[in-house]
Amino acid sequence: MNQLGFPILSLITYLPLLGAFIVATLSGNDEKVACKARNVSLIFSLIVLALGVFLWTQFNPAIAGYQFVEVMPWLSGVNIEYRMGVDGISLFLIMLTLLLTPVAIIASHGIKTRARSFFAAMLLLETMTVGMFAATDFVLFYVFFEAVLLPMYLIIGVWGGEKRVYAAVKFFLFTLAGSLFMLLAVVWIWRNLGTTNMAVMTHARIPAQAQTWLFLAFLAAFGVKAAVWPLHTWLPDAYGEAPVPGTIMLAAVLSKMGAYGFLRFAIPMLPQASASFEPLMFVLGVVAVIYISYVALAQTDMKRMIAYSSVAHMGVIIIGLFTFTVEGVEGALFQMLSHGLVIAGLFICAGVITSRGETLTLRNLGSLAVNMPVFAAALLFFTLANMGLPGTSGFIGEILVIVGALKVNFWVSLLGGAGMVLGVTYSLVLVRAVLFEKYARPKLMELKDLTGREYAMLLPLAVLVMWLGVYPSSFTHAFDAPVAALVQAHTAALNSHTAIAMVTAQ
Amino acid sequence: MTDFYSLLPALFLGLGGMILLLGGVLAKGSNTTPAVTFGAVLLLIIAAVLSLLAPDALLFGGLLKTSLFTRYADTLVYLGAIAALILSLDYNKREQISRFEYPILVLFAVLGMTVMISAADMMSLYIGFELQSLALYICAALARDSVRSTEAGLKYFVLGALASGLLLYGISLVYGFAGTTNFAALAGIFQQGAGSGAIAGVVFVLVGLAFKISAAPFHMWAPDVYEGAPSSVTALFATAPKAAAMALLLSVMAGPFGHLTGQWEILIQILAVLSMVIGGLAAIGQSNIKRLFAYSSIGHMGYALMGLVTGTVAGIQASLVYIAIYVVMSFGAFACVIAMRRNGQAVEQIGDLAGLAAEHPGFAFAFAVLMWSMAGIPPLAGFFAKLYVFYTAFNAGYETLAIIAIVTSVISAFYYLRVIKVMYFDKGQPQFDKTSAGAGFVMAVSAFAVMFFVVIPGPLMTAAGAAAKALMG
């Protein structure tokens, strides 16, 4: 058992599941059920958030390995255990999930039809996501990783926009096809290493030949999830069609699953393959940053524009991860958190507009700054954070990644850094089209400014974005230890292999 | 006395069936079907308990053999038959095919299945095989006024008779070349290898059994029979006989022909690959839900056969786990099919499910869980079933087979997903009749089992492992 004496990670993981059961069994007329379901799921998500904060306070940042470890027998006979644990890398991703679930639930005010199923699906999603970040057994990880698809498929397909069915099926099949390659990798590792315990797996030495294949399998699985160009095509459809709370979870949390997978499996387990695929990953990252920024510029719909900007930022994260420097990896991690908060803020802003009965087509919007000044300030703030203005969280992440990349390759650093400039272009286009251009329609004059509920969603996010931007070390100090260990192990593995190669060559 | 206890479940089923038949005939005027069905379910439950308690034994001078393996397979058969009988009660009444003979036929079919599972001699194998087949032919044609049902019965009979003929021919060849029909003796003789005549016999036996589990390319009867037979009968076909035939296939291939692995392994591989591919591809175009499940079960048999390919204890264990989970998923899925009724009429098109999630959220959820499980999405039971067979196939060096299986499982995910899509995303008003208590119960049991398997996967794994060890010795 862990240092707290009770299984806090399992508690955080499965409390929402209990909530989902309670929500699913509520009864009454539609209106009442929607209200009750929202309240119950909000309460559950806030309780687990409180538990998460407690977890953070108890967390010891000096330890590089897993903490709060839980081990139980699970698949007996094939030697697979139920293992949970967190380290500095997963801690904040769990916190991000725990924070954004209540925000997304508050953002679900517009969901009236089949509310029980919706809120049950949201809580189920929280369970699966937290479980995935907390799992430290590969098979368990895979179970959670795939299970995320089930609630998300329904959230997009049932409550989404016009092309929701297409988007949902595309999302499901893309991710399923990708993750089945990972299943092959799981089975390979299971057979050849004899264990699926992630702490042991990461230190195993895998032959270079096999590493290449495993890396490609991971690239298929995590690349689709992280929407690495060119595997991103499901993303604009899914983000565009999902209801706002679904988009928040997808963009802010689920897209991090892919990057987390690279960081957890591909880089530590496959040092040689990661090193030899580094140029490819850099190219993919740079293409995402530059090409997708241009694609974002061409969008005519606010949600899709934000969606593409998210793909561009994932490119920065990928570049950071594959620099294998402390700065680059920390920058990528920081960018994951920052991007999660910022993109959630932006999609909530989009939700503010839709909840007032307007479409998100940029041509139909304009001059919202006149009678929605607070909304305008919020949108501007998150847009600036999105393009990495100093003082916001976006800046820290990008600058760290650029510094990390600079140590490795000047051009990658330059081109990756160009994303910050290109980000300005589409961000400003977005702000101008939504807030400033002259009235498209007189009806826009009558829109009301932010309500209390919307403050409740946007304020915490804005505060956190500032906090991360002004005092980043309160977060980075937790992932200093694991990232340093990761980078060190990576370098050591590469060097030892070169040494062996030299010996055999002689 | 030990022998008696081992024989008790079979005696119970046979005698009980005859007594019920007598009761049904004597009480002619009144409607005895519900009472007979309850009696049959009760008999099956008692027989299941007795068989679980029964000791290992070799009966009738080596004709039958009971072991952990037969108990495991018997339990699956009982489970499938009980679920099918519960489902039939209300369905047959509403379809006006409610006959008291049906539960009795099921009892005799189950008796045949248990005999064939515990067969330790080619003769007892054939007797059990025929007993269950004959009972099932009649069941398929239960709705004798319906053209589709009689067609299904006839088709099943003709093709089944062909399969039996092939099986018998194979047995005669094996006997001719080996000089015995006893499994243990055959295993001893084949230890030194076998001539081409005996191998031909093995192939014929394999083909006959492949017919019964509807493995491709011997699957042609399955879609038509599944579609034509009354749904309650299809629910039976998809569960108990499949489990029994699969168990028989395992015990024959691993038992008397266990030393000929080199010869039959490639055949099983071909059967497995074809079944997975055909089950995956042909199901995409189906609009009738029963035909869809026919193809889906062909695919599932392919996955289950993968375990046998490896010829190891772990492989047999994986196959046994797969069949158990398959049986549970199947009777749940057919409970859902049986609950699809509108204005007193059974509807069978996938399109009829449109809008179900809004109208009957519980029903739709159970159905969706079962579909996801069949597609092999974690954390549902179907995923673990697939994981085990992939793992053992990979472990034994059949990487290509495992990769084919993974690709086909993505393909088949597509059509399972379509069912969910229709229920959840499409607009429509299914206006289904109230689900009967029996169908609701079976549906709920199956959905819960599939959902919560992930919490305690241990017992099934251990049981299957013990059964596989008992079989392989």
Cα–Cα dist B173/B168, whole Å:
9
Q: Which is nearest to A41 in space by CA: A126, A112, A114, A113?
A: A126
Asked if B322 contacts B307 with a C-beta cutoff of 8 angstroms, the reply is yes
Per-residue pLDDT reduced to its tens digit, B149-201: 898 899 999 999 999 999 999 999 999 998 899 999 999 998 888 888 889 99
Residue B375 tokens, joined? 């597609």
Q: For residue B75, give the 3-state DSSP assignment.
A: helix
The predicted model gives A326-337 an average pLDDT of 90
Find chain A residues with C-beta within 8 A of B403's C-beta: 184
ipTM of this model? 0.88
* CA dist., res. B473 & res. B467, Å (int): 10
Q: How many Å apart are CA B240 and CA B76, to the nearest integer?
A: 7
Question: What tokens appear for A66 in the block?
Answer: 């897993």
B121 strand-pairing partners:
B182
Chain B residue with minimal CA distance to A190? B391
* Residue among A434, A119, A113, A377 at smallest CA distance from A245: A119
* Residue partners of A63: CB distance under 8 A and separation at least 6: A87, A481
User: Would you call B342 helix, strand, or coil by DSSP?
Assistant: strand
- Give the Cα separation of B103 and B92 in Å (integer): 11
Answer whether A143 sits within 8 Å of B425, measured CB to CB: no
Query: What's the DSSP call for residue A82?
Result: E
Give the helix/strand (H/E) hosting A70.
strand A67-75
Q: Per-residue pLDDT for B310 more than 90?
A: no
Q: Taking the CB of residue B403, how many other CB atoms lie within 10 A of it?
A: 16
Check if the beta carbon of residue B141 is closer than 8 Å to that of residue B152: yes
Do B324 and B460 touch, CB atoms closer than 8 A? yes
Cβ distance A267 to A321 under 8 Å?
yes
DSSP state of A79: T
Q: A11, A38, A235, A269: which is closest to A130 by C-alpha?
A: A11
Contact check, Cβ <8 Å, A184/B424? no
Contact call for residues A173 and B417 (beta carbons, < 8 A): yes
CB B466 within 8 A of CB B472: no
**For residues B112 and B126, what is the distance between their CA atoms, to the nearest angstrom?**
10
| Tokens standing for residue A61 | 């940042």
Q: Please, which residues bridge with residue B58 across strands?
A: B65
Residue from A391, A399, A380 nearest A316 by CA: A399
Tokens of B41: 């379910």
- Chain A interface includes B358 (CB < 8 A): yes
- For residues B347 and B337, give the distance between their C-alpha atoms in angstroms, rounded to a whole number: 8
List for chain B the helix, strand, coil content (%; round to 5): 75, 5, 20
pLDDT digits (tens, 9 = 90+) for A11-70: 888 989 898 888 888 877 778 888 888 888 899 999 999 999 998 888 888 888 888 888
Q: Which helix (H) or strand (E) holds A81?
A: strand A80-86
Residue of A75, A142, A177 with shortest CB distance to B461: A75
Tokens 């009867």 correspond to B221
CB A307 within 8 A of CB A350: no
Output the pLDDT for position A499.
Answer: 55
For residue B427, what is the nearest residue in chain A, using CA coordinates?
A158
Per-residue confidence (pLDDT) for residue A506, from 0 to 100: 47
What's the pLDDT at B91? 87
More confident residue, A503 or B15: B15
A341 and A464 in contact (C-beta within 8 Å)?
yes
Closest CA to B77 of B23, B128, B152: B128
Token code pair at residue B230 = 């009354």
| Cβ-based contacts of B465 with chain A (< 8 Å) | 77
Touching check for B425 and chain A: CB below 8 Å?
A: yes
Chain B residues whose CB is inside 8 A of the A78 CB are 388, 391, 461
Tokens at residue B200, please? 């031909």
Distances, alpha carbon B174 to alpha carbons A28, A478, B179, B200, in Å: 68, 71, 8, 8
Q: How far is CA A4 from the centre of its chain?
A: 28
Q: How far is A228 from chain B (nearest CA, A)?
A: 21
For B382-401, the pLDDT digits (tens) are 999 998 898 888 888 888 89
Q: What is the pLDDT of residues B206-221, one digit of tens each?
A: 999 999 889 988 888 9
Min distance B378 CA to chain A CA atoms (Å): 5
Taking residue A53's Cβ as centre, other Cβ atoms within 10 Å add up to 13
The fraction of chain B above a pLDDT of 70, given in percent, is 99
**Residues B100, B26: contact at Cβ < 8 Å?**
no
Q: Chain A residues with CB inside 8 Å of B365's CB?
A: 117
Structure confidence by residue, pLDDT tens digits, A427-436 = 888 888 888 8
Collect all residues of chain B within an 8 Å Cβ-Cβ radius of residue A157.
Answer: 421, 424-425
Q: Which residues of A touch B458 (CB under 8 A)?
A: 73-77
Minimal Cα–Cα distance from B92 to chain A, Å? 32
> Residue B387 is which amino acid?
L
Q: Does B462 touch chain A (CB under 8 A)?
A: yes
**DSSP assignment string, B136-159:** HHHHHT-STT-HHHHHHHHHHHHH
Residue ranges of chain A whose CB lies within 8 Å of a chain B CB: 73-78, 113-114, 116-117, 139, 142-144, 146-147, 149-150, 153-154, 157-158, 164-165, 168-169, 172-173, 176-177, 180-181, 183-184, 187-188, 190-191
pLDDT reported for residue B271 = 93
Cβ contact B305:B272 at 8 Å = yes
Q: How far is B263 from chain A (nearest CA, A)?
A: 26
Helix, strand, coil percent content, chain A, rounded in steps of 5: 80, 5, 20
Within an 8 Å CB–CB cutoff, is residue B402 touching chain A? Answer: yes
Q: What is the pLDDT of residues A435-446, one digit of tens each?
A: 887 666 777 777
Give the HSE-up count for residue B148: Cα atoms under 13 Å, Cβ half-sphere: 10
Residue among A139, A142, A187 minimizing CB distance to B402: A187
The secondary structure of residue A456, as a DSSP letter, is: H
When pLDDT is cut at 50, 70 and 90, the band that residue B302 belongs to is: very high
Quick check: B288 pLDDT over 70? yes
Sign of CA dihedral B71, B72, B74, B78: positive
CA distance A393 to A247: 21
Cβ atoms of B415 and B457 closer than 8 Å: no
B58: enclosing H helix or E strand: strand B57-59
Contacts of B417 in chain A (CB under 8 A): 153, 169, 172-173
For residue B56, the tally of other CB atoms under 10 A from its CB is 14
pLDDT of residue A502: 53
Q: Does B377 sit within 8 Å of A150, measured CB to CB? A: yes
Give just the sign of the alpha carbon dihedral A208, A209, A214, A217: positive
Amino acid found at A420: M
- Residue holding tokens 């999660």? A340
Contacts of residue B361 in chain A, CB cutoff 8 Å?
Answer: 114, 116-117
Asked if residues A338 and A397 have their Cβ atoms less than 8 Å apart, the reply is yes
- Specify the pairing of strand A67-75 against strand B345-346: unpaired
Query: What is the tens place of the pLDDT at every residue in A122-177?
Result: 999 999 999 999 999 888 999 999 899 889 988 888 888 788 888 888 888 888 88
Tokens 């980075």 sit at which residue?
Answer: A476
Query: In 10 A of CB B321, how many CB atoms?
Result: 28
Task: Classify A197 as helix, strand or coil.
Answer: strand
Report pLDDT for A503.
52
Q: What's the pLDDT at B263?
A: 85
CA A96 to each of CA A93, A251, A312, A333: distance values in angstroms, whole numbers, following the listed order = 5, 12, 20, 12
Chain B residue numbers touching A117 (CB-CB < 8 A): 357, 361, 365
Mutate to test the interface with B, among A82, A118, A137, A153 (most CBs of B within 10 A): A153
The alpha-carbon gap from B30 to the nearest alpha carbon of chain A, in Å, equals 42
| Residue B106 · residue B82 · CB < 8 Å | no
Give yes or no for a contact between B347 and B320, defined as CB atoms under 8 angstroms apart: no
Determine which helix (DSSP H) or strand (DSSP E) holds B66, and give its type and residue range: strand B64-66
